[in-house]
A and B are shown apart, each in its own frame.
Chain A
Amino acid sequence: MNHAMLKNEEKVLFGLRNLYSSYGYARFKMSKFEEYDLYVRNKEFLVSDSVITFTDTNGRLMALKPDVTLSIVKNTDHTKGVQRLYYNENVYRVSDKTHAYKEILQTGLECIGDLDTLNLCEVLYLAAKSLETVSADCALNISHLGVTSALLEQEALRPIKRELMGCIGEKNSHGITALCQQQGVGEQLTEQLRLLTQTYGPACDVLPRLEQTFTDSAAQQAINELKIVTDYLEKTTSVRVWVDFSLVSNMNYYNGLVFRGFVKGVPTGVLSGGQYDNLMKRMHKNAKAIGFAVYLDLLEHMEAKQEFDVDVLLTYTQATPIEQVLAKAAELTAQNKRVSIQKQVPEGFAYREWVQLD
Chain B
Amino acid sequence: MSEWINIALPKGRLGEKVYKRFAAAGFECPEVLDDTRKLIFENTEKKLRYFWVKPSDVAIYVERGAADVGVAGKDILLEYRPEIFELLDLDLGKCRMAVAAKKGFRDDPERTLRVATKFPHIAGEYYRKLGRDIDIIKLNGSIELAPILGLSDVIVDIVETGTTLLENDLEPIQTVVPISARLIANRSGFQFKYQEIQAIVNGLQQQLEETK
Contacts of B192 in A (CB 8 A): 137, 139, 262, 264
Bound state CA distance, A279 and B66, in angstroms? 36
Which of A96, A137, A269 is within 8 Å of B187, CB to CB? A269
The smallest C-beta distance from A211 to any residue of chain B, in angstroms, reads 23
Bound state CA distance, A266 and B65, in angstroms? 8
Contact B85 A268 (CB under 8 A): no
Q: For residue A172, which residue of chain B has the nearest CB? A: B86
Restricting to B88-146, which residues have a CB under 8 Å from any CB of A? 88-89
Size of the B side of the interface (Cβ < 8 Å), in residues, is: 18
Restricting to B184-205, which residues have a CB under 8 Å from any CB of A? 186-189, 191-192, 194
Q: Does A175 contact B (CB under 8 A)?
A: yes
Restricting to A239-268, which residues have a CB under 8 Å from any CB of B? 242, 246, 262-264, 266-268
Bound state CA distance, A166 and B49, in angstroms? 30
Contacts of A246 in B (CB 8 A): 85
Bound state CA distance, A172 and B86, in angstroms? 5
The secondary structure that dominates the A interface is loop
The smallest C-beta distance from B199 to any residue of chain A, in angstroms, reads 15
Contact A267 B85 (CB under 8 A): no
The smallest C-beta distance from B38 to any residue of chain A, in angstroms, reads 25
Which of A172, A175, A266 is within 8 Å of B188, CB to CB? A266
Contact A267 B189 (CB under 8 A): yes
Restricting to A271-294, which residues have a CB under 8 Å from any CB of B? none
Contacts of A268 in B (CB 8 A): 65, 83, 187-188
Bound state CA distance, A168 and B188, in angstroms? 16
Contact B86 A171 (CB under 8 A): yes
Contact A267 B87 (CB under 8 A): no
Interface residues of A (CB under 8 A from B): 96, 137, 139, 141, 170-172, 174-175, 200, 242, 246, 262-264, 266-269
Beyond known contacts A139-B192, A262-B187, A269-B187: 9 more, CB 8 A cutoff: A139-B191, A141-B191, A171-B87, A172-B87, A200-B194, A246-B85, A262-B188, A267-B189, A269-B188
CB pairs A–B below 8 angstroms (9 shown): A96-B81, A137-B192, A170-B85, A174-B89, A175-B89, A242-B191, A262-B188, A262-B192, A267-B189
